[in-house]
Amino acid sequence: MSGQLVGHIKSIFRYPIKSMQGEMLSTVKVTSLGIEGDRSYALRIAGGKIASAKRTTKLLSFDAYYEGNLLMIRLPSGESLAVNDPATNQRLSTALETKVVVEERHPTQRNFGELDAATIFGDTPIQEALEGKKRQLASDATEYDLASGTFFDSAHLHLLTTGTLKHLNHLLEGQSDTNVHRFRPNILIETVPDLEGFIEDNWVNGQIRIGNNVVIGDIWPTLRCVMTTLPQKNLAQDLNILRKIVKEHENHLGVFAGTKTTGTIKQGDAVHLMKAT
């Protein structure tokens, strides 16, 4: 089945260390755990929780990237550290003003991300942000379950379209910067001109084929949080972005998904929607 053409890959993103800035790729393997090397590492805080920019917002000023097979971290100061350097944990702890260690994911490990329930949805109350959602969060929660054996919040893949970002920008009347980096997708899809609105809504219960081989399934809406509002690089803090997503689209933007068929994808690959039978 050829399916409906929805667009082509515009950008591919990988975030080697949870909650840090990542890297743009022209081609990459899609594995059973999503983009190869994505969220393979995280920082564990003394006490056991996994550091997240949901609370440790300074993480968004750090860059994680590969030089060949060597994982590097660039600090806000511009200094670069190799993850395998014995001094790196101390340098990171000093920069973050809290003791942390870089840790690689383990398939049998259960992990919990740090959060502050009072600010997890910016200035939007928890009850409003989670209205009608299956997953609830206590008003005094300080942690949340990560996907089993990983450092992912929920799913292994996150897809977003330029059409949806354009629609959100329209709803915001151009008063906010809806730069894709606020939303941290793995794959940004340049949509065909005739698709409008929140385009990914039509993908739920379907499958997406990328290029000739890779198939993405188990698709569900992405629940947004304070990460969309935080300052990073050249983007200012903007709480109105999350307020608008909550008000206009039940706090959903883009989709999470899992891998059905592994393979390699590249910029420019065609993206087709294949509805479930």
Segments making up each domain of the chain, as ranges? 4-275
Instruction: Look up tokens 């200035």; give the residue.
Output: 123
Q: Tokens representing 241?
A: 């972005």
Residue 198 has what pLDDT? Answer: 98
Distance (Å, rounded) from C-alpha 170 to C-alpha 18? 30
What pLDDT digit, counting tens, does each position of 14-60 carry?
A: 999 999 999 999 999 999 999 999 999 999 999 899 999 999 999 99
Q: Percentage of the chain with pLDDT > 90?
A: 91
Superfamily of domain 4-275: PK beta-barrel domain-like (2.40.33.20)
Q: How confident is the model at residue 139 (pLDDT cuts 50, 70, 90)?
A: confident
Distance of CA 14 to the CA centre of its chain: 9
What are the angstrom distances between the C-alpha of 46 and each of 50, 54, 113, 270?
Answer: 9, 17, 13, 45
Distance (Å, rounded) from C-alpha 17 to C-alpha 37? 9
Residue 276 has what pLDDT? Answer: 57
- Concatenate the DSSP letters of all residues of 121-160 into one string: TTTS-HHHHTTT-SS---TT--EEEPSTTSS-SS-SEEEE
**For residue 2, pLDDT beyond 90:** no
Whether 258 contacts 157, CB under 8 Å: yes
What share of residues in the chain are helix, strand, coil (percent, to 5)?
20, 35, 45
Distance (Å, rounded) from C-alpha 71 to C-alpha 221? 31
Distance (Å, rounded) from C-alpha 58 to C-alpha 48? 19
The one-character DSSP state at 57 is G
**For residue 270, pLDDT beyond 50:** yes
Distance (Å, rounded) from C-alpha 97 to C-alpha 88? 14
Q: How confident is the model at residue 132 (pLDDT cuts 50, 70, 90)?
A: confident
**For residue 238, pLDDT beyond 70:** yes
Q: Tokens representing 98?
A: 């809290």
Q: Tokens representing 263?
A: 């393979």
Query: Which stretches of 185-261 are assigned E, i.e. beta strand?
Result: 187-191, 206-210, 214-223, 252-261
> Angle CA(202)–CA(251)–CA(182) in degrees, nearest 5?
95
Count helices and strands (H / E) in the chain.
4, 18
pTM: predicted TM-score of the whole model, two decimal places: 0.96
Q: Tokens representing 190?
A: 């340049």
